[in-house]
Amino acid sequence: MIDRYTLPDMGRVWSDQHKYELWCRVETLVLEAHAAAGRVPADVVEPVRNAPPPTPERVAEIEETTQHDVIAFLTAWADNTEPRSAAAYVHHGMTSSDLLDTALAVQLTDATDVLLAKADRLVAALRDHGLAHRGTIKVGRTHGVHAEPDVWGHRVADLAFAAARSRDRLRRAREAVGVVAISGAVGTYSLIDPSVEVTVAEALQLRAADASTQVVLRDGISEWVSALAIIATVCEAVALEVRHGQRTEVRELSEAFGSGQKGSSAMPHKKNPIRSERIAGLARVVRAAIVPVMEGIPLWHERDISHSSTERVFLPDAAITTDYLLDLTAGLVENLVVDADRMRANLESTGGLIYTSAVLLELVEAGLGREQSYALVQSAAMRTWQDGTPFRETLRERAAADGVALDEARLDDICRPERYVANLGPLFDRLAALS
């Protein structure tokens, strides 16, 4: 992922230097387990443990010759080991995938911990914003068209619970990728005792694989990427709401616009929803990782490396992009500008059409048949759409023409937006308890 979208903590998780630090850690844990069991000389552990990780530049230099990244790493690390002879016992009984998949499991769980902290922030931001606007009346829209009265906090609550579910889904996916496999070539433990795998897994606070041939089957990693894609798409849902709300014709919501910020190189009046649009674009990047990573599940026999090149690109990019998206979306919500007056004005702009549902039911409950009630209300509503005459006027005229008496006092009561949201109290109680 380009530096523009890489935040420091997540960038470090996926840096080459950190990768080699993890490789050193895994190899050292294996060596310690061998020494504890008396399979290798005990005096080789300390020199290996004290050897500094090789630099990415040195590994790359050696790989130019070896064309094998793990061998290049082992060679470069051996060069840093004093005495060098101690390095002969490094990677004892292991195959490359033992190292790669185990270290990758640490990277994935570390990356997930960074993401979970960001997801907690987003959930809290949405929860607090929703509670702050539990009484902010707006019009609810279906198909982009005014439907019935609502409150802005209701829409935000829906997004808050979605973010929380997505976070919890990611937490479960952390378990799916936190898998250690140190079982040797084709995974039969022929040259390495199974106890080594258990010891290393405990040290890394992960779990040993249920089974490994030579690689860990990629269903868990696919689950993890899918969880990232879902939470990224929830971020896009938040952003889309802001994008719609910031349109000139709507103007109910807007992103914070800082001092000195510019919206357009040509049009000085512009205040564009650039953060929301960036979120929408980057969510596509995360979703794009699902299929390539999932195609790493079917490999040839015990292993091939067709998954490897794909994962080198898509796993860091998906994690880095999701981290940036969560940070950007939380900031968007925390600084969102809500125009409650504009929301109310938009609600009233259709002359009362948003009350047709309540009027329809009121006529039915007064004894008029549903078909006749629907035809009466729809006829009045269509005239309001056509010429802008307030709905109450067109309703009176159509009712009079049909010989239907209206209870004006009752209509006054039901044609109030607050009536439509009176039963949302339990929802906001649940939202307040969200953590």
- Under CATH, what is the fold of the domain 1-92? Fumarase C; Chain B, domain 1 (1.10.275)
What local confidence, expressed as pLDDT, does residue 272 receive?
A: 86
SS3 category, 427: helix
Percent of the chain whose pLDDT exceeds 90: 85
Kindly compute the dihedral angle of the four CA atoms of residues 385, 389, 395, 400, in this order, to the nearest 10 degrees.
Answer: -130
Give the pLDDT confidence of 111-168 residue by residue, as tens digits.
Answer: 999 999 999 999 999 999 999 999 999 999 999 999 999 999 999 999 999 999 999 9
Q: Is 100-191+208-350 a domain of CATH 1.20.200.10? A: yes
DSSP string, 382-401: HHHHHH---HHHHHHHHHHH
Could you tell me which residues are beta bridge partners of residue 146? 141
Strands (E), 143-201: 145-151, 179-180
Dist. CA 308–CA 73, nearest whole Å: 17
Give the pLDDT confidence of 241-283 residue by residue, as tens digits.
Answer: 999 999 999 999 998 877 777 766 667 776 888 899 999 999 9
Tokens 């549902």 -> residue? 357
Within this chain, domains 1-92 and 100-191+208-350 share the same CATH topology: no
Structural domain boundaries of the chain?
A: 1-92, 100-191+208-350, 353-414
Please confirm, yes or no, whether 68 is among the known catalytic residues.
no
What average pLDDT is seen over the chain?
94
- Answer yes or no: are the C-beta atoms of 391 and 355 closer than 8 Å: yes
Give the pLDDT confidence of 397-418 residue by residue, as tens digits.
Answer: 999 999 998 999 999 988 999 9
What local confidence, expressed as pLDDT, does residue 262 receive?
A: 73
Identity of the amino acid at 201:
A
Closest CA to 24 of 67, 65, 61, 78: 78
Q: Enter the tokens of residue 75.
A: 């060679």
Q: Enter the tokens of residue 153.
A: 């906090």
Please confirm, yes or no, whether 97 is among the known catalytic residues.
no
Query: Which whole-number Å values give the CA distances from 237 to 279, 281, 325, in the listed order?
Result: 9, 12, 12
Q: Considering 85, 190, 195, 264, which one is annotated as catalytic?
A: 264
Phi-psi region of 29 (alpha: psi -120 to 50; beta: other; left: phi over 0): alpha
DSSP conformational letter for 52: P
Dist. CA 362–CA 411, nearest whole Å: 8
Strands (E), 174-276: 179-180, 207-208, 253-254
Give the pLDDT confidence of 199-223 residue by residue, as tens digits.
Answer: 999 999 999 999 888 888 999 999 9
What local confidence, expressed as pLDDT, does residue 191 receive?
A: 92
At 300, the pLDDT band (50, 70, 90 cuts) reads confident
